[in-house]
Structure 1
Amino acid sequence: MTHARWAILGAGAISGDFAHALPDSDLGRLYAVGARDVSRAEEFAAAHGAPVVGTYDEILDRDDIDAVYVGTVHTTHTDLVQQALAAGKAVLCEKPLGVDPAETDAAIAAARAAGLPLVEAFKYRFGPFADRLRELVGGGALGDLVEIESSLGFAAGSRTGRLFDPATAGGAILDVGCYPLSLVVGVAAWAGHDLDGLEVQAVAGTIGGTGVDESAAASVDLGGASANIRTAIVHDLPRLTRVVGREASLEIPNVWGSRTDSTAAATLIRTDGTREEIEVPTVQPMAAEADATIRALREGRTEAPEIPWAETRTIARLLAEWRGGIA
């Protein structure tokens, strides 16, 4: 089978991680790199073996590219997504797809009009562990959903760069908090809850001197269940996630995995005291999300089941509620 030809837009660190991942992809290979500064694209291409370089426009104008990975700053995602779709490319876009619900809806509308895949790149949603998690929650192994606890945070070091820049939609919630929030949305969906009924009920957070949210917490009403999430870019937080049901709970030491390995293990703890260790093979999660995008393209689908648009739209809405509550 011929490999799909990927173009990467953006020459930053996350794009480098995606380039490192593509050799582990079954369906695609790196073909082109675009950046605002062509010299950066050339340097990136030389480091990762891409034969084609150019500006964003030059790359999107080419007819020999099948799919585009958008790895730029948050505020540029929607415009580049729309341009790529209009140019006939499938798109895998780093989270968040848009900085607000309106941008997110515009990107999805562009994909619907183009009839092409658009996938939000929450890498933990792809691979054997994600499949097993959906199976456990959706198959009723936990019983009715009661509570979710999840957090993700790290110490960025200096308060500089895009994370601390309001002009690029920096801050903990959009950059890191979207992970636990997206997990909550996914678990609620797999458990059969109405996504339209999900609502942020209470928030807390700290706005730093740079003007962005540096740490934040939220409680989310899931309709018959609740979730508590935390995030930060100025201190580390536990990576443990607990999904509690009436029949059993699931403890996941690191549901997020890493940029090179998906999650491998969790513990199912039943109310009768018995425990079951869940162990699955790991994969390169960024390669897995790339392959999900190409499978959708080849099968004529616009969405990937791992992160359907209904969930992407709900995540965007709840992120806006969370951010608005501490602004």
Structure 2
Amino acid sequence: MAQLQTRWAVLGPGAISRDFAVGLRASRHGVLHAVGSTSVDRAEAFAAAHGAAAFGTYDEILARDDVDAVYVGTVHTTHAALSVRALEAGKAVLCEKPASPTIDEVQRILLAAERAQRPFLEAFKTRFGPFAEALREFAAGGDLGAPVRFEGAFGFDAGVREGRLFDPSLAGGAILDVGCYPVALAIDLADAAGRPIMPDYHSFAAELVGGVDGAASAELAFGDFTAVIATSVIENLSDTGILRFTDGEVVLPDVWGSRTESPSQLIVRRGGAERVIEVPVVQPMGAEADALSLAIAEGRLEVPQMPWAHTRAAARVLTDWREAALTR
């Protein structure tokens, strides 16, 4: 196996990239090496804060031989173009979710990764660590019977109704920003349960705010496994999820965790009895970086915790859900 140390560059020195830089310090195999931006000043400020070289353009980063992988932390509408350019330059890519606002652009990214023979990973931090593994084990079936339903929501009140989240030209709205999390989890659970990962749509609903989906809900059917999900950027929603089985349920008190810690607790209920399971936490952004490092070292294009088939399925659902919301 090749050396696992990965020299990372960040493209786009925004808030989520700052969190990634912090997570990278907790990784086992990654080191922040460079920062690229359309603004030299912003790149230099980020580099000074996190200990890396700064460059004023993305092309300068992509032309460097001492960069192995890039983290794309820019706005949704730029993900596809930057990811394709990075892959064509021979870099592995960790792209912040959603990979792109439309299924067509996501397909373009994955085709570029296939042509370039470089790994691509959509950055769903919730896919990594003991909590995610425990959920997959439950979904595979066991003492609780077969999984029948997942209920989950991700929503917050952004406060002011302006900026990126409320800008139609930047693909703002709840569905792409945080609705992608319950969609991706439902797909992961369906796959673990042996169900199809591309669902039928039972319902879509949305509340528009300034031309974007401020809040939305959906019911998806993965065969006989149903997911009822909701999202919002105008209202705080419960972060407790429930995975229901024929003979019990698993309550997930903090299903999404945070950018610094994965969730740590599952509550199993069966026949009137309740059992609390505590699992170790990981730094989830560091864990996803290490997963891509391992793919590079092993010569793989995909990361098993978030395979391309899941990225495609999520992109299909998000595209259709958002189209239904915006054309109501």
Residue 200 of structure 1: aligned partner: 201
Residue 232 of structure 1: aligned partner: 232
Residue 150 of structure 1: aligned partner: 152
- Contact 1:45/1:53, CA 8 A, preserved across alignment: no
1:1-327 to structure 2, matched below 5 A, reads 3-196=5-198, 198-208=199-209, 210-270=210-270, 272-327=271-326
Larger deviation, residues 54-63 vs 136-145: 136-145
Instruction: Tell me the CA shift for residue 235 of structure 1.
Output: 1.0
Whole-Å separation in 1 of the counterparts to 2:325 and 2:66? 45
Whole-Å separation in 1 of the counterparts to 2:143 and 2:238? 25
| TM-score (structure 2 length as normaliser) | 0.96
Residues 240-294 of structure 1: CA deviation (Å, up to 9, x unaligned): 1101111331100111100100110011112x23322111111110000000011
Instruction: Tell me the CA shift for residue 141 of structure 1.
Output: 4.5
Residues 279-315 of structure 1: CA deviation (Å, up to 9, x unaligned): 1111110000000011011011111111111111111
Larger deviation, residues 161-170 vs 137-146: 137-146
Amino acid at match of 1:124: T
Structure 2: which 5+ runs fail to align? none
Structure 1: which 5+ runs fail to align? none
SS in 1 for 2:319: helix
Whole-Å separation in 2 of the counterparts to 1:133 and 1:68? 29
- Contact 2:43/2:54, CA 8 A, preserved across alignment: no
| TM-score (structure 1 length as normaliser) | 0.96
- Contact 1:200/1:322, CA 8 A, preserved across alignment: no
Change (3 A) 1:221 1:298: same
Whole-Å separation in 1 of the counterparts to 2:25 and 2:143? 36
Amino acid at match of 1:265: Q
Whole-Å separation in 1 of the counterparts to 2:125 and 2:317? 20
Amino acid at match of 1:264: S
Change (3 A) 1:205 1:134: same
- Contact 1:261/1:282, CA 8 A, preserved across alignment: yes
Q: Extract structure 1 runs of 4+ deviating beyond 3 A.
A: 139-142
SS in 2 for 1:260: coil
- Contact 1:199/1:318, CA 8 A, preserved across alignment: no
Q: CA RMSD in A?
A: 1.2
- Contact 1:4/1:29, CA 8 A, preserved across alignment: yes
Whole-Å separation in 2 of the counterparts to 1:237 and 1:202? 19
Larger deviation, residues 261-270 vs 46-55: 46-55
Whole-Å separation in 2 of the counterparts to 1:95 and 1:240? 21
- Contact 2:141/2:147, CA 8 A, preserved across alignment: no
